[in-house]
């Protein structure tokens, strides 16, 4: 299959490209690394305007299938119970930040192309992508994700880890999230392409998570065991808009795609990320 991957030089995109090539697909990568995403206009250009440009180009070229990388941020702050069934695709979408808002706008735009132009589409709502694959790891600047920040402390690159809130309504007071290995995300993309190509799905939206949640404190303890290093923490106030629990129900993805996140044990995720960070202590830069 001939596949164009936009954002193929990024963290998730690069792993998707590697797995596509390894599966024998002919892949073209288009990636734009540029200005900061700190202002709303940038999000709208990247996630709405650029998605529209892709859809119009697809329509003109007669390319009618798209797998869209979306996010759990479209759900905003859903009220979930610890140990509950998790977020289903029908959970109300009430984004609380511009990133989630623009991804939801892009999802809806793609949906209208499915209705009016006959596009075959699947939107994949990622939960917390983590881990490393075959020399490809997570290197954001500044780094805002938990596991890389934990591992930077383990490497001695930071004195401690900031924990935002120790009084959440969770068993240990720290927020709970659903972590999915980046390799499993890549496999889900390939499965999505296959079902679209087979015509078994015409338009759908799927959560990509494991259905299991881990708290910040559990991540820190697991990382301590995996790395063998102490990871001091400092608890500060809660962040605005930070829900206590954000865990997926992945039942639909398992059913529609036949997908099973086999690499997503929390030990495997942290272990693969740790190996990558040890090999790349300065990320992809040699002079960081």
**Contact of 113 with 162, CB cutoff 8 Å:** no
For residues 34 and 27, what is the distance between their CA atoms, to the nearest angstrom? 22
Set 44, 99, 126, 284: catalytic member: 99
Verify whether residue 99 is a known catalytic residue: yes
CA 226, 231, 232 angle in degrees (round to 5)? 165
Instruction: Give the ranges where the chain is alpha helix by DSSP (H).
Output: 11-22, 40-44, 50-61, 98-117, 146-154, 182-198, 216-227, 251-257, 266-279
Q: Please name the residue that has the structure tokens 């073209």.
A: 28
Residues classed as catalytic: 99
């Amino acid at each position: 299959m001939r596949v164009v991957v936009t954002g193929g030089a990024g963290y998730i995109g690069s792993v998707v490209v590697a797995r596509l090539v390894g599966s024998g697909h002919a892949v073209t990568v288009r990636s734009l690394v540029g200005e900061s995403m700190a202002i709303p206009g940038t999000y709208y250009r990247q996630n709405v305007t650029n998605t529209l440009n892709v859809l119009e180009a697809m329509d003109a070229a007669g390319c009618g299938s798209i797998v869209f990388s979306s996010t759990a941020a479209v759900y905003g702050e859903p009220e979930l119970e610890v140990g509950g069934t998790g977020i289903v695709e029908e959970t109300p979408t009430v984004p609380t930040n511009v990133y989630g808002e623009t991804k939801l706008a892009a999802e809806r735009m793609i949906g209208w192309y499915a209705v009016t132009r006959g596009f075959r589409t699947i939107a994949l709502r990622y939960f917390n992508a983590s881990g490393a694959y075959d020399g490809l790891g997570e290197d954001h600047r500044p780094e805002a994700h938990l596991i890389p920040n934990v591992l930077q402390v383990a490497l001695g690159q930071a004195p401690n880890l900031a924990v935002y809130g120790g009084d959440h309504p969770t068993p240990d007071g720290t927020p709970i999230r659903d972590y999915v290995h980046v390799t499993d995300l890549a496999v889900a993309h390939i499965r999505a392409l296959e079902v679209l190509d087979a015509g078994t799905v015409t338009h759908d939206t799927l959560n990509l998570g494991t259905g299991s949640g881990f708290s910040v404190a559990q991540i820190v303890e697991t990382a301590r065991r995996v790395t063998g290093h102490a990871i001091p923490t400092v608890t500060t106030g809660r962040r605005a808009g930070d829900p206590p629990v954000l865990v997926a129900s992945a039942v639909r993805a398992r059913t529609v795609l036949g997908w099973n996140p086999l690499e997503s044990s929390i030990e495997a995720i942290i272990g693969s990320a740790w190996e990558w960070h040890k090999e790349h202590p300065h990320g992809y830069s040699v002079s960081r």
